[in-house]
Chains A and B, each alone.
Chain A
Amino acid sequence: MQKLVVIGAGMASGRALEHLIEADPTAYDITLFNAEPRGNYNRIMLSPVLSGEKSFEEIVTHDEDWYAVHGITTRFGEKVVSIDRDRKVVIGENGEVPYDKLVFGTGSSAFIIPCPGHDLPGVVAFRDLEDTTAMSEASATPGARAVVIGGGLLGLEAAAGLRLRGMEVTVLHLAGHLMERQLDPSAGYLLQKDLERRGITVLTEASTKEIYGNGKVEGVRLVDGTDLPADIVVMAVGIRPQVQLAKDSGLAVGRAIHVDAQMVTSDPDIYAVGECVEFEGNVFGLVAPLYDQAKVLAKTLLGQDDTFVVKQLSTKLKVTGCDLFSAGDFADGDTREDIVFRDPARGVYKRLVIEGDKLVGAVMYGDTADSNWFFGLIKDGADIAEMRDTLIFGPAFQGGAQADPLAAVAALPDDAEICGCNGVCKGDIVAAIKAGATDLGAVKATTKASASCGTCTGLVEQVLAVTLGDDFKMPAAQPMCGCTDLTHEDVRRLIKASELKSMPAVWQELGWKTKDGCHVCRPALNFYLLADWPLDYKDDLQSRFINERKHANIQKDGTFSVMPRMWGGITTPDELRAIADAADKYGVPTVKVTGGQRIDLLGVKGEDLPAIWKDLNDAGMVSGQAYSKGLRTVKTCVGTDHCRFGTQDSTGLGIKLEKALWGSWTPHKVKLAVSGCPRNCAEATCKDVGVICVDSGYQVGVAGAAGMDVKETERLADVKTEEEVLDYTRAFIQLYRENAKYLDRPYKWVAKVGLDWVKQQVVEDVANRQALVDRFELSQSIYRKDPWAEHVAREQPRYAPIANLVQEAAE
């Protein structure tokens, strides 16, 4: 087999390897060097990692498994020292590797302005995970200040991320307006205003004189004398291709490594791809052309024909809430005319640049819905003479069609690009849909459309809608309720990312439209806040549904049901006597044995609740929480205690689980069961978590259902000991608590995130499992207690009438 050595695990080389392996997994014996101590990740998604909207794990594109499965030898954290082209060997820090073919994917490094102080600790670029981590760490100190040098794409994404993490952020930009290479001054102004509204200070025409500090960064001084104190300085002024190794190896290098249209360098056995490449005088920084190069390189390596061509590029900014788009050339010129549309109230600005009868440039801010259509016109050099009068209003106004966003997508030609990152055009997506990819996930998996930065997700869905017609249900982003346009997912993410720790903080920071929410959002927010900030947030009874406020189930006549906990479904004659006495004393009309192996007392008057609880408490019983979005019951069979088939102590394990989990609040109710053998008398296979005991240990299943939907559990893991069952269960419940939408049962949530992801978090990543258990236990230190006893002691008055006027006589 031929030996292929790749230097650099970046986005371009990673994509090239994918194509290569997909086409012919046996073509090469591959070795991959990377100076960073890790494999390939989606570098353009570092912005959402910085802002806390995504975790690093979510942006890893190739994990250890992937390299292992495809037999790629990885040498991560090892720098390549030199290349001996005569002997055809790559010399790494830890030894030589021979090659038949060699690929340079050395990428680029941040350009650091060589001003005084640029090498102080605390000056970082925004290129890799280390930079991102350094920035998050700096933001951990309350009141910490950041200065971002450079108001281009990267600098602004860094600034927005740091601001979301609570830092005081100032952006310094040398030019007169932000992103001057992509935006005109008007759009730059709107962008600046939007950023300032988020609390980011923007200084344009700001020239850095020096970075100062004693042993570490303390501030930045500008040429005009302005002094800006700072705890961290982010340099985001540009990138510079990493070409030293190529130069030292004697390859032809200009601004970057020279390649031809097949990605071959001046040495026919050496190739280059990505940001380290110069082709026909162009160097590349955006991801779309890199992916095109990767495709071509893979073909070349397989001896197939393909040609790289430079295409028009468009730009979008990944800052949540700032919609901007720019494409083509929009410099003023004698032969050029502008069409401009402004709507100051909505903060919308659109400008089209026309030369002859062609659209050559477009800049949009605030409303970028039609951007792909305009981009298509620019790329194709389409004749726009006919529609010039209404061009600025977008595709919906052409040909008298109604203003329907779907019509715009339907009107797109097959070669219109939908996913800029991955170069996927409408025709590819339509073909995939016709071949059976009928939802977003399937389209993403088969075409990679929307799989990188994700901004085209809405477009992909519209293509699905247009292609499938009524067969496709647009997954509308459902706002939480009328008080906000944000979805549950948005709100959860922002509560974590912006560290919102009280209800008023959520209302204020997320722009609630009502004064104090409504009956839909308040219980959800109360749960999200107490789940994410167990120590900081105080549970708000007034935001809870009556059942959880009064710790009893309201019945249709306004009376309540009372159900004491019976751990694992085990009770005693004394407990039964106490329950019988309570039923007599408070005139309980109905006593019912429930499906969860408990006894329910139905028809108790609201004002009697504290008294009946006190009686049950005195007999040693606590609330069964039969009313809560929390742990309900752990159902068991008798297991090895009595049953001749039992393989383990299912009752004992059920009791242990219930004692660990009781009192915990969850997005919806949670029910467990433990069966002592696969005959499954406790019906564990339709529970949120169901354990089946077997001779060799325990099978832990999750995400079952036996309500509106009926669904068998899916196997999370097989484990050997009771301790492991307890750990896996607590970790699973905590993952559910931290991530699910309020009122999604575990089976619905798992269907959304995928069992594989859950397994990865709970089973495969041992450290993460322990961290989940620890966070669960931290929360339980507050919530694992009997609410009945507490309410009897402290809240008794609220169960009684405030006044009784029955005896009062009219004057």
Chain B
Amino acid sequence: MTNWIDIGALEDIPQRGARVVKTARGCVAVFRTGEDEVHALDDRCPHKGGPLSEGIVHGGSVTCPLHNWVFDLNSGVAKGADEGQVATYAARVEDGRILLDATDLVARSAA
């Protein structure tokens, strides 16, 4: 089951940049690559908790601003010699809007 939520316009995120979505499970970083693909990952480096949304986006990767760990935006897996993985969430662009699958992100209220 998916729960696509419109979180904003593609233009709201700079190319090769990111913005943060606040959720009940912590911050999620939504990245926009140089080719206008979007990817959503936990905004927390498994190494020392650095905010990945503040990193430099290059190709399909992001570099953590604290200690330069590099993560694949598709898989969330650390590249090179570093070992670790960040949780990823489905995201896509439709008619210029960014849709995020919030199934695992929204509060499981009693509704």
Taking Cβ atoms with an 8 Å cutoff, the residues of A that contact B are: 514-519, 522-523, 541-546, 549-550, 554, 556-558, 606, 797-798, 801-811
Minimum CB–CB distance from A699 to chain B (whole Å) comes to: 40
B5-21 contact mask (Cβ, 8 Å, vs A): 1 or 0: 10110001111110111
Minimum CB–CB distance from A799 to chain B (whole Å) comes to: 10
CB <8 Å contact, B59 and A803: no
B residues in contact with A558, CB < 8 Å: 49-51, 54
CB <8 Å contact, B111 and A516: no
CB <8 Å contact, A516 and B63: no
B84: Cβ under 8 A from any A Cβ? no
A801-B19, A806-B23 are known contacts. Are A557 and B14 too (CB-CB below 8 A)? no
A residues in contact with B30, CB < 8 Å: 802
A802-B13, A809-B107 are known contacts. Are A514 and B20 too (CB-CB below 8 A)? no
A residues in contact with B35, CB < 8 Å: 515
CB <8 Å contact, A802 and B16: no
A residues in contact with B86, CB < 8 Å: none
Residue of B nearest to A516 (CB): B34
B residues in contact with A518, CB < 8 Å: 56, 58-59, 61, 63, 70
**B64-111 residues at the A interface, CB under 8 angstroms:** 65-66, 68, 70, 98, 100, 102-103, 105-109, 111
Residue of B nearest to A559 (CB): B51
Once bound together, how far apart are the Cα atoms of A558 and B66, in whole Å?
9
Residue of B nearest to A542 (CB): B16
B residues in contact with A808, CB < 8 Å: 5, 23, 102, 105-107
- A516, A523, A550, A802: the one within 8 Å of B54 (CB): A550
Minimum CB–CB distance from B63 to chain A (whole Å) comes to: 4
Can you list 17 pairs linking A and B with CB atoms under 8 Å apart?
A: A515-B34, A515-B58, A518-B61, A519-B63, A543-B16, A543-B56, A798-B19, A802-B20, A802-B21, A805-B7, A805-B21, A806-B22, A808-B102, A808-B106, A810-B103, A810-B107, A810-B111
Mostly, the A contact residues are loop
- A516, A541, A557, A806: the one within 8 Å of B49 (CB): A557
A residues in contact with B66, CB < 8 Å: 554, 556
Residue of A nearest to B3 (CB): A811
Minimum CB–CB distance from A80 to chain B (whole Å) comes to: 63
**B38-70 residues at the A interface, CB under 8 angstroms:** 48-51, 54-59, 61, 63, 65-66, 68, 70
B residues in contact with A805, CB < 8 Å: 5, 7, 21-24, 102, 105-106
Once bound together, how far apart are the Cα atoms of A378 and B12, in whole Å?
69
- A522, A546, A550: the one within 8 Å of B58 (CB): A522
Once bound together, how far apart are the Cα atoms of A514 and B33, in whole Å?
14
A residues in contact with B3, CB < 8 Å: 810-811
In this complex, the member of A606, A801, A803, A809 whose beta carbon has the largest number of chain B beta carbons within 10 angstroms is A803
Minimum CB–CB distance from B60 to chain A (whole Å) comes to: 9
Residue of A nearest to B68 (CB): A519
Minimum CB–CB distance from B15 to chain A (whole Å) comes to: 7
A546-B65, A556-B66, A558-B49 are known contacts. Are A809 and B19 too (CB-CB below 8 A)? no
Minimum CB–CB distance from A776 to chain B (whole Å) comes to: 28
CB <8 Å contact, B7 and A802: yes
A residues in contact with B22, CB < 8 Å: 801, 803-806
- 3 A-B pairs with the lowest CB-CB distances in the bound complex, closest first: A519-B63, A802-B19, A803-B7
Once bound together, how far apart are the Cα atoms of A675 and B51, in whole Å?
41
CB <8 Å contact, A545 and B65: yes
B residues in contact with A803, CB < 8 Å: 5, 7-8, 21-22, 100
Minimum CB–CB distance from B56 to chain A (whole Å) comes to: 4
CB <8 Å contact, A516 and B58: yes
A residues in contact with B108, CB < 8 Å: 810
CB <8 Å contact, A545 and B49: no
Once bound together, how far apart are the Cα atoms of A323 and B84, in whole Å?
44
CB <8 Å contact, A801 and B21: yes
Minimum CB–CB distance from A525 to chain B (whole Å) comes to: 12
A residues in contact with B70, CB < 8 Å: 518-519
Minimum CB–CB distance from B91 to chain A (whole Å) comes to: 11
Once bound together, how far apart are the Cα atoms of A306 and B59, in whole Å?
65
Once bound together, how far apart are the Cα atoms of A808 and B34, in whole Å?
30
- B12, B15, B34, B105: the one within 8 Å of A802 (CB): B12
A545-B65, A558-B50 are known contacts. Are A516 and B12 too (CB-CB below 8 A)? no
A542-B17, A798-B14 are known contacts. Are A810 and B59 too (CB-CB below 8 A)? no
Once bound together, how far apart are the Cα atoms of A434 and B24, in whole Å?
71
Residue of B nearest to A522 (CB): B56
Minimum CB–CB distance from B55 to chain A (whole Å) comes to: 7
CB <8 Å contact, B14 and A542: yes
B residues in contact with A806, CB < 8 Å: 22-24, 107
CB <8 Å contact, B49 and A802: no
Once bound together, how far apart are the Cα atoms of A391 and B38, in whole Å?
57
B residues in contact with A517, CB < 8 Å: 58
Minimum CB–CB distance from B79 to chain A (whole Å) comes to: 11
Minimum CB–CB distance from A554 to chain B (whole Å) comes to: 6
Residue of A nearest to B57 (CB): A542
Minimum CB–CB distance from B92 to chain A (whole Å) comes to: 15
Once bound together, how far apart are the Cα atoms of A518 and B62, in whole Å?
9
CB <8 Å contact, A546 and B111: no
Once bound together, how far apart are the Cα atoms of A279 and B19, in whole Å?
77
CB <8 Å contact, B106 and A809: yes
16 extra interchain contacts, Cβ-Cβ under 8 A, other than A515-B59, A541-B14? Answer: A515-B34, A518-B59, A518-B63, A549-B54, A554-B54, A558-B50, A801-B19, A802-B8, A805-B23, A805-B24, A805-B105, A805-B106, A806-B23, A806-B24, A806-B107, A808-B102
B residues in contact with A807, CB < 8 Å: 107
- B8, B55, B105: the one within 8 Å of A519 (CB): B55
Once bound together, how far apart are the Cα atoms of A523 and B16, in whole Å?
13
Residue of A nearest to B33 (CB): A516
In this complex, the member of A517, A519, A550 whose beta carbon has the largest number of chain B beta carbons within 10 angstroms is A519
Once bound together, how far apart are the Cα atoms of A714 and B52, in whole Å?
42
Minimum CB–CB distance from A628 to chain B (whole Å) comes to: 15
Residue of A nearest to B61 (CB): A518
